[in-house]
Structure 1
Amino acid sequence: MRFEGQAIYVTGAGHGIGRATALRLAAEGGSIAVSDIDGPAAEAVAAEIVASGGRAFGTTCDVTSRDAVDASIADAVGRLGQLNVLVNTAGGDWNEPALGEIPDELFDRKIDVNLTGVFRCVRAALPALIAAGPGSSVVTIGSINGNWAFGGYAYSAAKAGLEILTKNLAARYGSQGVRFNLISPGTIRTRNWTVREDDGGKRARKYPLGRIGEPEDIAAAVAFLASADASWITGINLPVEGGIMTGGLHDLIMEG
């Protein structure tokens, strides 16, 4: 029960990594604001938590809208009475054409969803996190695309940007009791992957640990970094990637 008495806001929590994270932190005693652009999905996850004896409510929020982010986080702080942890999982990638055919609008949209959206959420949550006192924490979900050239120009650039954003925030606000950390997952079995032809099986064989990741693998890492167990850890980028960056990386990159 590492999060007993703590108020937690999780973005992108209606599906995948966000959902697994909300469930994990609730199971450890946290009161969860389950946030997602997909409002019904957020409500469903909140209901699942409540049915299991936890405390949660759903909130609809589009991280590309400052007004939506500000209103949703302010409402969560009002309903929960405080804010101790912010988890940024909202993001996404989708197909793009060759570089010369990428329109500005597509590039900008991916940066907005994956990088600027995190900035908006941190900006809105920071006063409440500071007010909650030492022990407050922000954990953001990046990607190994931000560490290596796996393709995806805008998505990868956004995820790389999250690391330096996290380090700057950690350096600036550590003295005010707020820690900032980043997690970089490898291939995770979410909706994005289960619709692909081989369901990740081909890529799984490239991972030294012999499988692709599950959302719960990332949720476990979030729970550690957000908890007091990581009270002297801030400004890091933690790869949770089954060893792909130590073995099998070359073949995976060459396959595109």
Structure 2
Amino acid sequence: MSAAARTAPATVLSLDAQAGRLAGRVAFVTGAGRGAGRAHARLLARRGAAVAVVDIDADVAQATAAEIESEGGRAIAIAADITRRELAEQAIHETADRLGALDIVVHNAGRMYSLTGLEATDDADFDALLEINVHAPLFLTRAALPYLRNSAAPRVIFINSQWGQVPDGHSYAYMVAKAAQLGLMKTMAKEFAREGILVNAVTPGAILTRMVPDDCVAGEQAAIPLGRLAHPEEIASTVAFLASDEAAFITGQSMAVNGGALVVGA
């Protein structure tokens, strides 16, 4: 697939038209050095939020933060392995210390996975996917609660997957981890609703990132009624909506952004 084909169309790149809607807020985005996480961080910054760009890779975290600042936004880079509780907690506290608050937590970080059936599922792979999809968000959200309770518009947003809702019979590790993550999201939403902390998930289908190799794009888009994969910026627009005041009465929900991939009969 050509590089041009992976470039978001102009209508997608103009999603920063609502600049300023998140002014004064601070966002914490994991896995934000590249791919969809980078798009989330950039769009939140374009909407006015100061952003902590969190990634296990220090170089890509710094590159994304520098890109945001070159566009007139405010960002810091934090390199951390968020599957380690003490490092996850440290990243949250560093964000609040350096940016002055914490209003929005975006659980975007993920990892590559294997398409395997039950008998071929590797125990280490299973554990690693649970760590990044369940343990890390638990550590981070728990550490963020004191700051979110002081926010006028606290938000926790999970980047999940359509396969967390409808398994395809492959990759037990990925499907189970994403399903467990949705359970975590709903439980948090129920517990913290009375405090005004809104917790939701975005459940994309296939996205044009390095997670989908060029030789797999045609097969993936064949299953999507709209006939193409999502651009990262299109997922980011839903994240920005859930972070906004327009979403003030939405919690415990899974927002599907999949081009109609799970429409019955499609």
So what's the TM-score if we normalise by structure 2? 0.89
Q: Which string of whole-angstrom CA distances, capped at 9 and with x for unpartnered residues, describes residues 97-132 of structure 1?
A: 542233322211111112211111111111111122
Query: 8 Å contact 1:208–1:248 — kept in the other structure?
Result: no
Counterpart in the other structure of 2:218: 201
Two-structure CA RMSD over aligned residues (Å): 1.4
| Residues 156-191 of structure 1, C-alpha deviations (whole Å, 9 max, x = no match) | 111111222111111111111210001110000111
Measure, in 1, the Cα distance between the counterparts of 2:112 and 2:186: 24
AA at the equivalent of 1:56: A
Structure 1 distance, partners of 2:125, 2:219, is 29
Say whether the 8 Å CA contact 2:199–2:252 is kept in structure 1. yes
Q: For the residues of structure 1 that align with 2:227 and 2:113, how far apart are their CA atoms?
A: 26
Which one of the candidate residues 33, 49, 67 is aligned to 1:14? Answer: 33
Q: Does 1:117 align with 2:140?
A: no
**Is 1:144 aligned with 2:168?**
no
The worse-fitting range, judged by mean Cα deviation, of 110-119 and 75-84 is: 110-119
Q: Kindly report which structure 2 residues correspond to 1:133-212, keeping only aligned pairs within 5 A, or say none.
A: 133=152, 135-150=153-168, 151-193=170-212, 195-198=213-216, 200-212=217-229
TM-score by length of 1: 0.92
1:26-53 alpha-carbon deviations (Å, 9 max, x no partner): 0010000000011110100000010111
Identity of aligned residues (%): 38
Aligned to 1:99: 118
Task: Please list, as runs of the form range in 1=range in 2, the aligned pairs for 1:220-239 lying within 5 A after superposition.
Answer: 220-239=237-256
Displacement after TM superposition at 1:93 (Å)? 2.9
Q: Take 2:250 and 2:138, find their aligned partners in 1: how far apart are those partners?
A: 21
Aligned partners of 1:164 and 1:20: how far apart in 2? 25
Query: 2: distance between equivalents of 1:116 and 1:179?
Result: 20
- 1:49-68 alignment to 2 at 5 Å? 49-68=68-87
Q: Name 1:240's counterpart in structure 2.
A: 257
**Which sections of structure 2, spanning at least 5 residues, go unmatched?**
1-19
**SS of the residue 1:229 aligns to:** helix
Aligned-partner Cα distance in 2 for 1:95–1:149: 14
- Aligned counterpart for 2:61 among listed residues 42, 45, 51: 42
1:60 partner amino acid: A
The CA deviation string for residues 193-235 of structure 1, in whole angstroms up to 9 with x for no partner, is 1x3424x123213211111111111100000011101000000
Secondary structure of the structure 1 residue equivalent to 2:111? coil
> Whole-Å Cα distance in 1 between the matches of residues 219 and 116 of structure 2?
24
Contact map agreement 1:42 1:59 (CA 8 A) in 2: yes
Separation in 2, partners of 1:223, 1:98: 36
Map of 1:64-75 to 2, 5 A cutoff?
64-75=83-94
Which 10-residue stretch deviates more, 140-149 or 96-105? 96-105
The answer as to whether partners of 1:207 and 1:247 remain within 8 angstroms in 2 is no
